[in-house]
Structure 1
Amino acid sequence: MRYIWLDDYLLKKKGVTKDLQPDWNWIRYHVGGKMFAAVCLDTDNKPYYINLKLDPVRGDYMRKMYADIIPGYYSDKTHWNSIRPDGAVPDDLLKDMLDESYRLVLENFSKKRQREILDITCCGSECSKCGCYGNICQGCNELCGKVFHAPPGKACPIYRCAVNRKHLTSCAKCEELPCVIWRDTKDPQLTDEEFETDIQNRIRNLLEN
């Protein structure tokens, strides 16, 4: 197979696991327990197809553009597509299609579950890196925003705005990012410079996912 980077590329995505389905001899890649890609192996364990999911309109277009992309092998042929592993599909295009497949499967989960899979909060913070996590706070996703620094019994202002009011998975899709609410929820232990760095880190976390 010419796409020798594929395994590393997929396993670097948040929440991805892989297994071998022995009856089919497929190496399957899952996000949140749902398959979004597979490498189909022959009896000599050599890849003969890479399966992935695409929007039906794009999938149909890709099949017309590339002879090495065909309707999904042993899969729903409306949504799934198979790519020949030694064909002429450019590496960057295959990466883009794998990204889309990952996104399509991830978006089928609830917004709360998506944040859990990505191990990120709606504001881009990583609860697992917080010194309070597991002690006085169980994390934003687990508590639906009602974290230790929020008003008693209420979600923090960012969570209330992004998730409860705008029904977004995170602030990543908000046109006001970073908004005045972000500015008003400054950690008093941070200097202004540290706070700006924190904001940029959180934005990067959101946009990378």
Structure 2
Amino acid sequence: MKYDWLNDYLLNKRGVTKDLQADWNWIRYHIGGKMFAAVCLEWETNKPYYITLKLEPAEGDFLRSQYEDIIPGYYMNKVHWNSIKPDGNVPDDLLKDLLDKSYELILGSFSKKKQREILELSCCGTECKKCSFYGNMCKGCNECLGKVFHAPAGRACPIYECSVKSKKLRNCSQCAELPCTIWRETKDPQLSEEAFEKNVEERVNNLKS
């Protein structure tokens, strides 16, 4: 298979797990327990013969008309799933884009709250379980619906109020203003400007990973 980057690319996505469906000889990639991509292997050689992923029906139809190496999903719903020949002429960048879209389609099938739980991120990109206050002073943003230890008494954090309650987003990655003025206004006063900017960069990277 010429796309030798595929396994690492998919496993580097947040929340992705991998297994082998032995009855089919398929390597499957899941998000939240649902498959979003698969590499179908030949029985005799274990050589990949299809990469299968999910797309919006209209986009799948269009791509099949443009690339002979993209066909209706092999042993899958042929309206929603598409299979790509692993030694064909589909450009690497296009395949990465299609894998990204499949990942987002499956992730988007869950509730917004469940999506944040699967990604193990707060709406602002904080990995709550790595926070020194987690488990003692705070149960984490997703668990307490934004009413974290540093939020105003009885209220959710302003970032949670904006992204989740007001804009109905999964998290701030879906907002064009990332990182916005609310992020600046909720700066931890104990952090230096340099440390805060590093923290913002880390959270943005978490949200975009």
Q: If the length of structure 1 is used for normalisation, what is the TM-score? A: 0.93
1:10 aligns with 2:10: yes
Counting aligned pairs with the same residue, the percent is 67
Give 1:196 deviation, angstroms: 2.7
Q: 1:4 to 1:177 in 2, by over 3 A?
A: closer
Letter in 2 for 1:13: K
Q: 1:43 to 1:199 in 2, by over 3 A?
A: closer
1:127 aligns with 2:128: yes
Give 1:199 deviation, angstroms: 2.3
SS at match of 1:147: coil
Partner residue of 1:181?
Answer: 182
RMSD, aligned α-carbons: 1.5
Aligned pairs (5 A) from 1:46-57: 46-57=47-58
Q: 1:48 to 1:170 in 2, by over 3 A?
A: same
Partner residue of 2:160?
Answer: 159
SS at match of 1:85: coil
Provide the aligned length of Structure 1 versus Structure 2.
208
Greater shift, 187-196 or 136-145, is seen at 187-196
Q: Deviations over 1:167-196 (max 9, x none)?
A: 111122334333332222121211233223
Gaps of 5+ in 2: none
Gaps of 5+ in 1: none
- C-alpha distance in 1, partners of 2:48/2:110? 30
SS at match of 1:140: coil
Aligned pairs (5 A) from 1:5-154: 5-44=5-44, 45-154=46-155
SS at match of 2:200: helix
SS at match of 1:177: coil
Letter in 2 for 1:157: P
Give 1:128 deviation, angstroms: 2.1
Greater shift, 41-50 or 65-74, is seen at 41-50
Greater shift, 152-161 or 191-200, is seen at 191-200
